[in-house]
Amino acid sequence: MPDDPFGALVTVDDPDDGRLAEYRDLDDPALRRRREAADAIFVVEGRVAVRQILRSGYDVRSLLVDDHQAVAVADLVDAVRARGAPVYVGRRAVVAATVGFALHRGVVAIARRPPDADPRRLVAAARCTPSAGGAPPIVAVLEGVNDHENIGALFRNAAAFGVAGVLLDPSCADPLYRRSVRVSVGHVLSVPFARLAPWPAALDEVRAAGFVVAALVPQPAASSPDRHLEPGTLQELAARARNPAQPVGAAGVAVLVGAEGHGLSAAGIAAADHVVSIPMAPGVDSLNVATAAAIAFYELTRVHPPANRN
C-alpha cells in the first residue's frame, strides 16, 4: 500500500513537545531572530496571512492551531496537509504556553526562509510591472526603517497601489519577522523585496535601471531647493517615465523613505534625483512613514500618465 502523501494531523498536549520547538518563544524578538536565522525559517500568524502564504511560492513546514480553531480553519488544515506538512492541534492553553502569549487568532505556521533575493533582478522585473491602473512602475526604497509594524504597513500599502517591489537598505528590519507579516496582512509574502547594498551608492543601480529616485522629506528646508517638488508633481515624474527623451530611458519612479524620527540621512537625500515634501498643518512636522509612502504611491497612480510624450 503506498505511503499517505498527506502530512500528519497530530494532537499535542505538552508545550515541551520537541515537535513544537520551532514555535517556542515567539514573544522574544532577540531569541527569535537568532533561531530563525540559524534554522532559515520564519513565522506566519493569523488566518489571512496563512492563506496568503499558501497562495505564494513559500514552503510551509508545519501549522499549529488551537482546538477552537481547528474546525473553523479546516481549509487551511487540509491545504497544509496536502503539501505533506504536519498540522499540530492543541488546547488553547497548550498553544499559548508554547508560543509565549495568548494566540487570539489561534493559527500560526512555520515556513522556510528563502535565499536573499537579488536586487538587480528585482529592479529589472519591476521595469515591466505597471502599478495600479496601468501607471508606470513604482519601487519603494527604505532606509533605516527598523520598526516591524511600519515595515508591515509599508508592504500592505505597496500591495494596494501595485508597487512592483521593495528595496531595503542593510539597516532595515526583517520584513519576514512575525509582526511585520501580520501587520502587512500577509502582503509581505506577495510583494517582492531585496536588500540594497552598498548604501546609498547602490541607488545608482536603481537609477541606471531607469527609475527616477524621489526622496520623501518632512520639510522643504531639509532638501536642496532646486530639487524640491510638491506632491502633485510626482504625477509629472510618472508622466515622464518611459519617455524616450529621458537620458536613461526612465521606466518608473523609486520612492525613497526613511525611519521615524530622524528620517532620511543626508547621504540618502543627496543620492536622490528629487526631494518631495507633503504639505501639513502648522505644528505637525511629519507623518508615519507608511502613511507618507501611501500618499506618494497614490499621487503616482491616481492619474494614468501617457506612455509617451512627443
* Residue 237 falls inside a structural domain: yes
Q: What digits encode the pLDDT tens for the residues 31-44?
A: 999 999 999 999 99
* Owning domain of residue 171: 119-301
CB 252 within 8 A of CB 210: yes
* Residue 306 falls inside a structural domain: no
Is the domain of 158 the same as that of 219? yes
CA 136 vs CA 127, 234, 271, 294, 302: distances in Å: 8, 12, 22, 16, 11
Q: How many CB atoms lie within 10 A of CB 232?
A: 11
Dihedral pair phi/psi, residue 165, rounded to 5°: 180, 165
pTM comes to: 0.88
3-state secondary structure of 252: strand
Q: Using CA atoms, how far apart are residues 168 and 193, in angstroms rounded to an integer?
A: 7
Closest CA to 129 of 52, 204, 192: 192
CATH of the domain at 87: 3.30.1330.30
Set of cell numbers at residue 109: 505556521
Q: What digits encode the pLDDT tens for the residues 245-292?
A: 554 446 899 999 998 777 899 999 999 988 888 887 888 877 899 999
Q: What digits encode the pLDDT tens for the residues 188-225?
A: 999 999 999 999 999 999 999 989 999 998 765 544 55
Is the domain of 200 the same as that of 289? yes
Q: Using CA atoms, how far apart are residues 256 and 239, in angstroms rounded to an integer?
A: 18
Is the domain of 267 the same as that of 198? yes
Domain final position from 78, 112, 146:
112
